[in-house]
Amino acid sequence: MSVPLSDEFTIPTHRQIGATAHPEQDVHCTYLCGNSLGPLSKRSNLLIQQELEAWGTRGVNGHFNTHPYGRGWVDFCDHITPLFAELVGSKEKEVACMGTLTANLHLMMDSFYKPTSARFKILCEAKAFPSDQYAFASQALAHGLDPANAVLEISPRPGEYALREEDILDTISREGSSIALVIFSGVQYYTGQLFPIQSITRAAQAQGCICGWDLAHAVGNVPLSLHDWNVDFAVWCTYKYLNAGPGSIAGLYVHEKWKDTELPKFAGWWGHDPVTRFAMPPKFSPIDGAQGFQQSNPSILASASLLGSLQVFKEAGMMGPLRERSLLLTNTLETLLQQSQYFIPTTDVDKWSQQSSRPAFTIITPSDPASRGAQLSLLFIGDGLMQRAHDGLTSFGVIGDERKPDVIRLAPAPLFNTLQDCEQAAMFLERVLDGLAS
């Protein structure tokens, strides 16, 4: 099968989302929001139905090999780990399908963040996703540290929106001896910047730091080679580019170089050796590798949804062909947006905001395709302009997502978006801004 697999997904129609300004009400909308919540795949829908049927016709026996589709629930995630491993570039024992992103982040920090009086800082990007900021600060507090001292944030240079690699590497070499953990997002949720994961990891480890990654916006978006890049640990959710559905089950990676004895953990029965798990022994004997971190038996409905979606990725050939198509779509969308009469370069933002009341926007995502994934972040200049532009786009069925105060993120996902989606987005944005300019 070749991408895009638009027909494999159920995307809401204009009528369903109330896009009343679009002339074709029963055609699917321009869904550029897969970075926030991926759409429902028909495969996920089917697999969830099958699990409901298994539950209804087998009850508790569905846990084992009487499962009508051969996916007994006790080892359901064994169907997912090979696909996770392929997506993030790891061995199967290095990944686990479990929990939720923020909870997994806490588990990883519990095992990997071991501050000492000399080495106690957490280095991260400024304006990390709020859940991550809260996690970092609360982890510092749990160790009796003041987050104001313990959490070290790197900001872009004045007038810039993305972080420069050299600035990150300089900070690591300057402050390295006091840093316990370097943790960035693979792709920054607000700006869409793709960080150089390998070079940051290498620089952090050269200073004796642990290096972990939050891949919420990177997994299913850009190719990853976590094992070869020697990343210590990573976490991700599955409802963004992985299309597993709202709040679905998440993922976790731990490099195999970390032995269980080095990683004290908050244990649960699902991390226990499956051979003796149901003998219910009193002493915890963990599975070797990432799966030893599992605490609870996984939600099968969520896992079925994820499995369905990952099967679609597999049929699309995984991240090689998807990245190629992603570059085409995002570069096209960027070119079309830059042709807008309302587009201004980022360097003109300050000048423009002082002088003009005419609507304008810029793109704060790095223009180098190697430094971004699918997403472009449009920054609107002028009070309330973003909200009005967003409302206007929504009325034409262009679904991006707003990040207050002034950004709209548009992410053509290569699995289901098309060049036509990019054209529609650019065309309707122009029409909306024309309306606001007059």
Q: Tell whether residue 263 is among the known ligand binding residues.
A: no
How many Å apart are CA 318 and CA 323, to the nearest integer? 9
Of the CA atoms within 13 Å of residue 275, those in its CB half-sphere come to 4
Q: Tell whether residue 138 is among the known ligand binding residues.
A: no
Q: Which is nearer to ligand PLP, 8 or 232 (CB)?
A: 232
Q: Which is nearer to ligand PLP, 293 or 343 (CB)?
A: 293
**Cα 141 to Cα 146, 182, 209, 253, distances in angstroms:** 6, 17, 20, 25
Q: Which residue has the tokens 């095992």?
A: 111
Length of the chain: 438
Sign, CA dihedral 307-308-313-315, equals positive
Kind plus residue range of the DSSP H or E element containing 409: strand 407-410
Q: Tell whether residue 385 is among the known ligand binding residues.
A: no
Q: Which is nearer to ligand PLP, 244 or 344 (CB)?
A: 244
Q: Least Å distance between CB 178 and ligand PLP?
A: 24
How many Å apart are CA 170 and CA 193, to the nearest integer? 19
Q: Which runs of E-coded beta strand occur in 278-397?
A: 360-363, 376-381
First to last CA, the chain: 47
Q: Tell whether residue 239 is among the known ligand binding residues.
A: yes
The answer to whether 162 and 184 have CB atoms below 8 angstroms apart is no
DSSP lists the bridge partners of residue 405 as: none
Q: Least Å distance between CB 277 and ligand PLP?
A: 26
Q: Which is nearer to ligand PLP, 217 or 272 (CB)?
A: 217
Residues found near ligand PLP in the complex (CB under 6 A): 100-102, 129, 131-132, 185, 189, 214, 216-217, 237
Q: Least Å distance between CB 241 and ligand PLP?
A: 11
Q: Which is nearer to ligand PLP, 215 or 433 (CB)?
A: 215
Reference 4, options 254, 313, 216; nearest CA is: 313
Q: Which is nearer to ligand PLP, 8 or 125 (CB)?
A: 125
Q: Which is nearer to ligand PLP, 178 or 248 (CB)?
A: 248
The answer to whether 149 and 178 have CB atoms below 8 angstroms apart is no
Q: Least Å distance between CB 239 and ligand PLP?
A: 7
Q: Least Å distance between CB 129 and ligand PLP?
A: 3
Q: Tell whether residue 273 is among the known ligand binding residues.
A: no
Sign, CA dihedral 107-112-117-122, equals negative
- In the DSSP assignment, the letter for residue 163 is P
Q: Tell whether residue 132 is among the known ligand binding residues.
A: yes
Q: Tell whether residue 286 is among the known ligand binding residues.
A: no
Q: Tell whether residue 101 is among the known ligand binding residues.
A: yes
Q: Least Å distance between CB 248 and ligand PLP?
A: 9
Prior bond of 223 cis (ω within 30°): no
Q: Tell whether residue 297 is among the known ligand binding residues.
A: yes
Q: Least Å distance between CB 252 and ligand PLP?
A: 12
Q: Which is nearer to ligand PLP, 203 or 302 (CB)?
A: 302
Q: Which is nearer to ligand PLP, 13 or 100 (CB)?
A: 100
How many Å apart are CA 6 and CA 23, to the nearest integer? 21
Q: Least Å distance between CB 188 and ligand PLP?
A: 8
Q: Tell whether residue 131 is among the known ligand binding residues.
A: yes
Q: Least Å distance between CB 366 and ligand PLP?
A: 18
The answer to whether 217 and 187 have CB atoms below 8 angstroms apart is yes
Q: Tell whether residue 65 is among the known ligand binding residues.
A: no
How many Å apart are CA 389 and CA 360, to the nearest integer? 10
The answer to whether 220 and 194 have CB atoms below 8 angstroms apart is no
The annotation places the binding site at 101-102, 129-132, 185, 214, 217, 239, 269, 297
Annotated binding site for pyridoxal 5'-phosphate: 101-102, 129-132, 185, 214, 217, 239, 269, 297
